[in-house]
Amino acid sequence: MTHIDASGLKTAGISIRKVNLSYGSLQVLKNVDLEIQPGEFFAFLGPSGCGKTTLLRVIAGFNTPQSGSVTVGGREVLSLPPWKRDVGMVFQSYALWPHMSVRKNVAFGLEERRLPKDEIGRRVDKALELVGLGHLGSRRPSELSGGQQQRVALARTIAIEPTVLLLDEPLSNLDASLRVQVRRDLLAMQRRLGLTTIFVTHDQEEANTICDRIAVMKDGVIQQVGTPMALYDNPVNLFVASFLGTANILDGAMRTNGREQVFELPCGSRFPVPDEHRNGAKLFFRPQNARLALAADQAETASVRVKGKVSHKEFLGASVRYGIRTEGGEVFADIPHARGEAHLPDEHIVGVDVPLSRVNYLPA
């Protein structure tokens, strides 16, 4: 289906089915299945070399998979060349022409397509206005900030009136402080345009802050798809748990105790496990879900209690991260920082309590 958004641009959903791609003996994409909704801001997230750019280029038409199907707006595109796919891609290097004005840069692709002059003028005006650069059309790229250059690259792609926008690490050329500002601008712009957008990044913070949903990739395989919060709170495996933030992972044994399922830690403590987690092999929780108690105090009700010794502390601003040495390995507990509070000294014996509702079990 193709939809028309408030910006007047058309937008389309994307279906990727069983896509496999190899370079010689190296299989870079393995049975990739994905469904991206019209108007969605979607991220491909994963470590370097996991296949994110390759997948993006398959949608754009610059890479051809050995098998599978890709539809854009319900139309199969794998047999079409890039320029017939209604897909616009902004590359990592913006590749603006340095000797041309901003207007000329944006018009370039349209002139190549031999559109009528007044149509080109109309589209350039609209694209520059949509990215907020209507007043800078006569400048050269060298007279713009990094963030503005990135917007020119975006305008150049929007001017082609694609139904889908593909962004390959668009913020990687910007310094850290600018990146935060530009990613906010990018989100505002994406909402205004309403265009289905796929954003490739290896930076989980970047994906979390601007994308509706994320596909986490590793070694050419989609590990999990979901909203940033769902992936953070309920990762399906150790890779996703660790890639999206600090993860506390404890070894133990899943046991059946009569009709009840329990998880037993090396120290002997046992906790009830909901039925859906009966195949889990490791206990997982996030540092901010942990509370510290004096070891002699009773554990909070309906929570997991792990005993250990404070091994170190890190001040993170909003919280203090305690490292606690336990029998099952080190765990971290983030305790909100309040003014004037006393901190627990190293080697202090403590109990780490985590509400059962905040504990998850992951396969080995």
Ligand X SMILES: Nc1ncnc2c1ncn2[C@@H]1O[C@H](COP(=O)(O)OP(=O)(O)OP(=O)(O)O)[C@@H](O)[C@H]1O
The structure tokens 């250059």 sit at: 149
48/79 with CB nearer ligand X: 48
In the chain, the N- to C-terminal Cα span, in Å, equals 40
For the CB of residue 90, give the shortest distance to ligand X in the complex, in Å: 15
Torsions phi, psi for 333 (to 5 deg): -130, 125
For the CB of residue 246, give the shortest distance to ligand X in the complex, in Å: 22
Q: Are 157 and 51 in contact (CB under 8 A)?
A: no
50/186 with CB nearer ligand X: 50
Say how far apart CA 183 and CA 188 lie, in whole Å: 9
For the CB of residue 24, give the shortest distance to ligand X in the complex, in Å: 7
Integer-rounded Cα radius of gyration of the chain:
25
For the CB of residue 140, give the shortest distance to ligand X in the complex, in Å: 29
Q: Is 278 helix (H, G, I), strand (E, B) or coil?
A: coil
Give strand pairing partners of 91: none
12/14 with CB nearer ligand X: 14
208/261 with CB nearer ligand X: 208
Q: Which residues bind ligand X (CB under 6 A)?
A: 23, 26, 28, 46, 48-54, 202
> 30-35, long-range: CB within 8 Å, 24+ apart, which pairs?
30/219, 30/220, 30/221, 31/221, 32/68, 32/220, 32/221, 32/222, 33/222, 34/215, 34/222, 34/225
52/286 with CB nearer ligand X: 52
92/288 with CB nearer ligand X: 92
For the CB of residue 202, give the shortest distance to ligand X in the complex, in Å: 5
For the CB of residue 214, give the shortest distance to ligand X in the complex, in Å: 14
